[in-house]
Structure 1
Amino acid sequence: MRRPYPPYRRSRRRTEHPEEGPVVLHLRLITPADRTAEVIELIEQTVGTTHLAVVPGAALDPRGDVVMCDVAREAGDQLISGLRKLGIDECGSIAVEDIGFQLSTRAHQAEKDAPGEAADAVLWERLEGETREESTLSVTYVAFMTLATMIAACGVVLDNAILIVGAMAVGPEFGPLAGVCAALVQRAPRLAWRSSLALIVGFAVAMAATVGFSHLMELMDLFHPSDLEAERPNTDFIYQPDAFSFVVAILAGIAGMLSLTSSRSGALVGVAISVTTIPAAANAAVAFSFQEYRQAWGSTEQLLLNLLGIVIAGTLTLLVQKVLWSRFGAEGVSPSGRKSTAG
C-alpha cells in the first residue's frame, strides 16, 4: 500500500521580480513509489527549493513516480547529495539541468532564501561527472591532442604566433587536468587514474605522431632543421622556461577551475591560450626529430612546469572553495535544513 505524500507547505510570502532572472536548477527525478514520500520531505527541508510537482506512476523504466522541482544553484549540491544518500541515483534517476530564463516570484524567493551567491556555489556531483567525461581516453580526445600538437609544430617551424594560439585553443588537455584536481580534492582514486592516464597517453601519442609528421614534412621540403636553429622571436619562449611560465600556469589553473565551478565555460578559451602545454609538446617533438636535444629538453621542462602549476593551482582553488562553502553553509543553514536567522 502506498504511503501518503506529506502535505506541501506553501509560502504566502510575495516578492518583487528583480530585473535579472533567478539562477536556479531544474531537477527531474524518477523515484520508486515507496520512496517518493522521503524524496518530497527532503526537498521541502532543503532551503531554496520551489515548484515541487509529483506525477504518480508516470515513469515506466524504471517504474515509479516522476518528481520535479526547481532549486537555487547555491542549494543544489546539498539537495543532490541528499538524494544520493537516499539511493535515488541507484533505484531511480536524478537529472539536473540549468534553466536559462524563468519568470517566477517563487523562484526569486527560493534564490533569496538560499545562503550564499549562485556564482560561488560548487556543484561537486556535477563537477566530478563533467571532469570524468572530459578525461575519458577516447579516439576523439587523442585525435584532438594530435591535431593540436601538429598545428603547433607548424607554428613553431614558421615562428607563427597565430598558429600557436590556434593550437592552444584546439587542445583538450585541460579536461584531464581538471579531473586530476577534482580527484585529489574529492579523494576519488578512479578519477585520478583515469585523468592521469588520459594525460600521459594523450601527450605521448600526440608527440610521437608529431615526430613522424615532422619527418614527413621534411621529406616534402616543408620543414628544415635550420628553421629551429634560426631566431624565433615569436616562439622562442616555448623552449626557454622561466619563473613567469610557472606564474602564468598558476593563474591559468585558478581561472580554469573557477570557470568550471561557476559554469562560465567561455573563460576556458582564455585559459587554453594562456598556458604553453601543447606548444611545448610540439616543439619538443620537432626538436627531437631534428636532433635538437637542447630545445627538446627545454620544451619538456616547459611542459612539465605548466602541468604542475595548473594541477597545484586547480587543486588549491577547489580546496579553498570547499572549505569556504562548507563553513558558509554551516552558518547559514539550520540542522532542520531551513535557513537560520540567528545573528
Structure 2
Amino acid sequence: MTNRHDQPVDQARREPSLHAPTAPLRRSMRLSVAPMLDWTDRHCRYFLRLISRHTRLYTEMVTTGALIHGDRARFLRYDEAEHPVVLQLGGSDPGELAACTRMSADWGYDEVNLNLGCPSDRVQSGRFGACLMAEPALVGDCIAAMKAAAAIPVTAKLRIGIDDRDSYEELVAFVSNLVEAGCDALIVHARKAWLKGLSPRENREIPPLRYDWVYRLKGEFPDVPIALNGGVASLDQAVDILTRVDGLMIGRAAYQDPWLLAEADRLIFGDPHPVPTPHQVLEALIPYVERQLADGVPLKSITRHLLGLFQGRPGARAWRRHLSEEAHRPGAGANVLLAAAARVR
C-alpha cells in the first residue's frame, strides 16, 4: 500500500539539490499529461500512473488564493504512487506565488508550473493565465520569486502568442525574459490564444497549430528543455515530435483514451517492462478504490475517469453504461467496477 500525502512530507528526504542538473528534468518531461480543470484530479492521476510508470502527471490548475486562503490539504494531497507529479499554479502576485511554491516543495511535488496559457474569462478576471503574456516584466518577477522560494524546478506553460501580439519575434522576447528569470523548462502550446471572442474550447481548436514555431524556439534556446503541447493524439506522432524537442504534453486524447499511454514507457522512456492489460490495471486500482471509499469518497468521483479504459474493445459501451448507471447509487462499491469489467471481453 502506498503512502498518502495528507500533510507535508519530510523535506530532508524530498528536497532536491539547489543546483540539480537539467538532464533528469529533460528526461522526465519527455511525455506528460496536461493539467485539465475538473479532469486531472488525484483519482485520475493515480489511475493513469497504473498505465504508465514514467509519464509526468500534472494537477489541475490551483490558484494561489485557493492555497493561501482555502483548504490547503484538499488541493495538495496526493498519493505517493503519483510521482513524478507537478503542481500547476495560477496567479500573478510574486509574493503569493513564492509562498505557494514553498508549499509545493513542502508537500513533496516534483515541480511547480506557472499557467500562462489559459484564456478563459474567469482566469483573465483573476489576472492570470494567457493574459499574462501581455505583461512580460511581471511574469519575470513571478518566475524569479518562485525560483528563490524553493529548490524544485519552476516551469511555465505558455501559448505562442495572444491576440495581435503574435509574431515569432515577440514569442522569442517573451521566452528570453522567462529564461533570464530562471525558468527551468517550458511547455509551449503551439497555438496562440484569442482573449476575446473565442471560448476556451474554441481556443484549443480554431487558432492554427504552429509546430514549426516551437521547433524554431528550441533552436533559439538549445539549453532550455522545451516541450510541445497541442493536437497530438498518438504515440507514433509523439515519437516523431520528440526528434525535434525535449518533451511532449498530451491532453484530452490521453484522458478520453487513457490506453494511449500503455506503450509510452517502452516507446518514449525505453523501459521494456511488460505492458499490463486493462483488466490488470483495473485489478490494481481496486485497493485504491476501497481506501477512498473508506475515507468517504463517492465511487462516482473515481469512475468518471475510467470510462475510456476499454476504448475500442468489444464491450466498451457496456462498460461505460454500467459505470454511468451504477456508480452514483448510494453505497456503490468496488463490486460495480468488477461487474462492469465482466461485460468486456
TM class, shorter-length: under 0.3
Q: Report which of the two has the higher share of helix.
A: 1
> Under a length normalisation based on structure 1, what TM-score does the superposition of the two structures give?
0.21
- Indicate the structure (1 or 2) with the bigger Cα radius of gyration: 1
> What's the TM-score, normalizing by structure 2?
0.20
